[in-house]
Amino acid sequence: MRRNYLIKVFCIISLVLLVDVGNAANVRIKDIGKILEARDNQIMGFGLVVGLKNTGDSSRTEFTKIALGNLLNNMDITSLSDSSFKSKNVAAVMITADLPSFLKPGQRIDVAVSSLGDARSLKGGTLLLSPLKAADGNVYAVAQGALVVGGIDESSAETVYARNQTTVGRINGGAIIEKEVHVDLTSKKYLTIVLNSPDFTNASRVSYAINSSGMARSKAKDASTIVVELTDDYKQNIVDFISRIEKLSINPDAIAKIVISERTGTIVIGENVKLTAVAVTHGQISVKIDNDELLHQTNIKVYEKPSKLVQVSSGANLASLVKALNAIGTTPQDLISILQAIKKAGALTAEIEII
């Protein structure tokens, strides 16, 4: 089973490397960055979820009683007293959503609903009409609808079964836009492109691609920001101009990086990861990376006693080392420890991120 697991790990690493090797294909600017002036906004609100099957907030949750009392007062129903509030079919929640620019009143967005009190589950509940505000205090949307909860929380006198979160749910298209986020691009002198992952090389390449296209003049201000001049001619058809800019392509650069999950043993290797000469001993495993320039193929030498020796050439990619270690049955935890040791010795030209 362990060997099959290692084979799967190596297959994942190989696929990632194959994808990176094909990275010579250009990518569009819209896939690695976005127009800053057209950014998303966040909205939130407070609400009540009803229809719960005795899994809502208890009478100890004061703000639920206050909110329910205010709701009933607005409907000309006498407010509840503390002694009359016995139902656990109601839960106080917070509603959150992302509001993209340019959405018009009447369009819908998804919302996330999270329990605020001591409710055990929101499954089967319905969110009552709730206003959603932005940081400026204005209401931009209203949310209402039946929740979809992915978790399970079942209990009986003998057993309790729970899986995933049952106090968080979603309503697809649960909020209706009431106010548009106004963005006037034609009043700007410049458009700002921000990269999703800051990188000086990529910022320079984006600026070069725009300047080379002849559509506009641009300048990379830092590792994530490219400023594009917006002339009066382009302001007449700003949508077409931005579309043409977004479709321009560059060959993106990437740092040498390894991402390791110690919990699952998953290892993801990026492009440009190289090895230099080093020797590592880990338990009964010895790793030797030779500095012989004439050694073009990965050589694997395995000795059962006194230790297992793995030998690869200097400058080889990390997939060669992982394949060699896989061949002698190295456990995922051993593999992670060996990679960390090689990095510590300065023989691994890559950044290691542990998740």
* Res 283: pLDDT: 64
Question: Which positions of the chain have pLDDT values less than 70?
Answer: 1-25, 79-85, 151-164, 277-330
Give residue limits of the domains in the chain.
Answer: 2-22+255-354, 41-177, 185-250
DSSP 8-state class, residue 297? S
* Res 311: pLDDT: 52
Kindly state the tokens that stand for 107: 């369009």
- Contact residues for 74 (Cβ-Cβ < 8 A; gap 6+): none
* Res 145: pLDDT: 95
Tens digit of each residue's pLDDT (9 = 90 or more) over 316-348: 566 666 666 666 566 777 777 777 877 887 777
- Contact residues for 329 (Cβ-Cβ < 8 A; gap 6+): 2, 3, 6
Pick the CATH number of 185-250 from 2.60.120, 3.10.450, 3.30.70, 1.10.287: 3.30.70
* Res 139: pLDDT: 97
Q: Is 18 exposed, middle or buried (0-12, 13-18, 19+ CB in 10 A)?
A: exposed
* Res 305: pLDDT: 44
Tens digit of each residue's pLDDT (9 = 90 or more) over 285-306: 666 655 544 333 444 444 444 4
